[in-house]
Structure 1
Amino acid sequence: MTLRPIRLLAGAALSLALASCGTTYSMPGIADETNSRASTMFAEAKTAAPRSPISESAGVNRFARVARRIEPVARQLCETELAQGKAVDCDVKLELDREMQQRNAYFTYAEAGNRSPVIRFSVPLLQDTGNDDEVAFIMGHEYGHLIGRHIQKGQQQAIAGALILGVITAAASAQGGGYYDQTAVENSMELGAMVGQRAYSQTYELESDMLGTRISHAAGYDPVKGAQFFARDEAARSGGGQLSFWGTHPPDEKRMAMVLATMEQIQGQQALTRKASQ
């Protein structure tokens, strides 16, 4: 492999990486006072005593009740994205994952047919919730991954990362006068794909928190009350250390601060609207 094709591949990979990074929406700024409030709420929630799970039927009923209110609000926001020319399928299936024993919820695409978007909740997670606000925030958060196109962006970043590290490895061999080591390049591409996919994962979680706040609030729920569930100590949330929803989304005061900052932004916009109408 000569240096010119290597440079061309590196340029293409870098362009792909830059095109796929970042959030879809502008994130609200977080003031020092908001960070302080978030830290206090986070600390208080972490020390909350464990609570007894609700029955399976109560958890399933809570899921259905919340879904009826969240779905139309999230769909409307999703369809706004379609109106702006973004390729987003808003026909989301809200399902229970009855096989999963972990306390978790996730957004994915169905493997069969046209890969329609799916949001699934495990029954143990629903049983662990203390109110409808918590389920509403989780559901809004998962819709945020759809609306923010996080799976597609992650895939693009994985491709870009694989290309970049693969090109670097190939270039190092070429410039050193050595032979082309296909195994080394493949290993580098695997590592690059992993790094690329994770590069903006926490940024996307924050964006989903922001969108989840807006969706759950618009549906009539209290997102601050809902988000406090995720700041509770892992043992309190997952009963015996089983993987929970927040176990795959590292707890951080920054995420609580994002919810508070988004609510401050919403309330500020509402105040301006009221003032303009007077």
Structure 2
Amino acid sequence: MGATAAQLRANQAARQFVEVVDAVEPVAEQMCRARTSGLNCDFQIVVDDRADQPPNAFQTVDRFGRPIVAFNLGLINSVENADELAFVMGHEAAHHIRDHLTKTRESATVGAVVFAGIAAISGAEAEAIKNAEQLGAAVGARTYSKEFELEADQLGTIISARAGYDPVRGAAFFARIPDPGNRFLGSHPPNAARLEVVKRTAASLGL
């Protein structure tokens, strides 16, 4: 019995994912080692194989500091070409190379201390101080989030280009995700701003 159309698409998406990982991961690791000192650059690419999750990819580190770039099936199956997948992979790897997780934690800590201090000086009760600390941590964590996303777009453009992909074509992925606009304390910049960074960076590379 032959494979269904859905199975064929899934198999094609899986092959494309493996090919992109094989091309992008070594470039990301090479760039990580060239641009950082003391940072673990041994990327691990993992897949969340739950089929009921909305498209998503993110970067984190394990308890030993090894960088992890995670994709779920929703994202792997939703990209329209290898360029889009390579751009997303380069973007997430760039977050680690720019050490954004550490910087976000530091911003959250500063925000928590500042807000709690203001509440304490104003004579607030213990519960109010705790709430202010939590709010401060949230505000602090988002203080540079838009800037970090644009930095990751810029470096992700370079990574995907050096891996042999077209980052401008890859950034077309933005056109199919909700545009966050320029909301106060939003975590992501407007899609138009992100695309502009990609185009400008690609032009600087002669693409």
Show the counterpart of 2:121. 171
Matches within 5 A, 1:102-251: 102-110=54-62, 113-173=63-123, 181-232=125-176, 234=178, 249=188, 251=190
> Where has structure 1 moved over 4 Å in runs of 4 or more?
248-251
Q: What percentage of residue pairs aligned between the two structures are identical? A: 38
Out of 3, 8, 11, the position equivalent to 1:57 is 11
Letter paired with 1:252: N
Show the counterpart of 1:13. none
Letter paired with 2:26: P
Show the counterpart of 2:184. none
**More displaced 10-residue stretch of structure 1: 55-64 or 147-156:** 55-64
Residues 58, 127 of structure 1: 8 Å contact kept = no
Answer yes or no: is 1:95 the counterpart of 2:49: no
Larger Rg over CA atoms: 1
Show the counterpart of 1:81. 35
Q: For residue 267 of structure 1, give the secondary structure of its aligned residue in structure 2.
A: coil
Deviation of residue 251 (structure 1)? 4.6
Residues 158, 197 of structure 1: 8 Å contact kept = yes
Cα gap change, 1:115 to 1:188, in 2 (>3 Å)? same
Deviation of residue 115 (structure 1)? 3.9
Cα gap change, 1:211 to 1:54, in 2 (>3 Å)? farther
Q: For residue 157 of structure 2, give the secondary structure of its aligned residue in structure 1.
A: helix
Residues 145, 188 of structure 2: 8 Å contact kept = no
Letter paired with 2:203: E
Deviation of residue 208 (structure 1)? 0.4
Structure 2 stretches lacking a partner, 5+ long: 1-5, 179-186
Out of 250, 258, 266, the position equivalent to 2:205 is 266
Cα gap change, 1:120 to 1:211, in 2 (>3 Å)? same
Deviation of residue 186 (structure 1)? 0.9
Structure 1 stretches lacking a partner, 5+ long: 1-51, 174-179, 235-247, 269-278
Q: For residue 206 of structure 2, give the secondary structure of its aligned residue in structure 1.
A: helix
Structure 2 length normalisation: TM-score?
0.87
- CA RMSD in angstroms, aligned pairs only: 2.0
Residues 174, 191 of structure 2: 8 Å contact kept = no
Mapped to 2, the partners of 1:145 and 1:221 lie a distance apart of 19
Deviation of residue 263 (structure 1)? 1.0
Structure 1 length normalisation: TM-score?
0.65
Deviation of residue 123 (structure 1)? 1.2
Cα gap change, 1:233 to 1:105, in 2 (>3 Å)? closer
**More displaced 10-residue stretch of structure 1: 57-66 or 156-165:** 57-66
